[in-house]
């Protein structure tokens, strides 16, 4: 398989195998007017198998989304075909409008203008809870 290198854009690398599509959805990459390549189950010396996302455009992406889905991922910024920056990602302490509360009794269900805010309650397990009702976020949807 041949995926061309990009000249100016972003490479999200070392994504845990199987998490690439989740990142694609949460980053709303389907709305980007540029080439986006998702490579699934690529061989990795570091983690065995990995996913990679290549975005052939200089856009801003929400690093909190990446930290929520897979804090082990890395983000590489490419300029003129050369990697100019590499970011290690951490779990964000708070997520705002990244995910929605699933609790039908949560105030965010009736007050549409309220932001969906979750705070990190267990870093080891990656558990986030709604600040309004304390419902645990479901990483699968």
For the chain, domains (ranges, CATH) are 9-88 (3.30.70.140), 94-130 (no CATH)
d(CA 135, CA 69): 18
Give per-residue pLDDT as tens, 55-93: 998 888 999 999 999 999 999 999 988 889 998 899 999
Model confidence at 121: pLDDT above 70: yes
Distance of alpha carbon 13 from the chain centroid: 11
Q: Are 26 and 69 in contact (CB under 8 A)?
A: yes
Please compute the mean of the pLDDT values over residues 35-59 and round it to a whole number. Answer: 89
Mean pLDDT (the chain) is: 90
Nearest residue to 16 via CA among 54, 56, 44, 57:
44
């Amino acid at each position: 398989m041949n995926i061309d290198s990009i000249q100016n854009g972003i490479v999200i690398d070392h994504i845990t195998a199987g998490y690439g599509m989740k990142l694609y959805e949460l980053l709303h990459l389907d709305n980007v007017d540029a080439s986006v390549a998702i490579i699934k189950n690529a061989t990795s010396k570091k983690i065995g198998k990995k996913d990679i996302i290549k975005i052939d455009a200089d856009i801003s992406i929400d690093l909190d989304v990446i930290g929520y889905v897979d804090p082990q991922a890395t983000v590489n910024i490419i300029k003129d075909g050369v990697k100019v920056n590499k970011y290690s990602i951490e779990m964000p302490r708070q997520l705002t409008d990244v995910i929605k509360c699933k609790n039908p009794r949560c105030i965010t269900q009736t007050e549409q203008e309220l932001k969906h805010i979750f705070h990190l309650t267990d870093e080891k397990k990656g558990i986030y809870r709604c600040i309004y009702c304390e419902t645990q976020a479901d990483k699968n949807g």
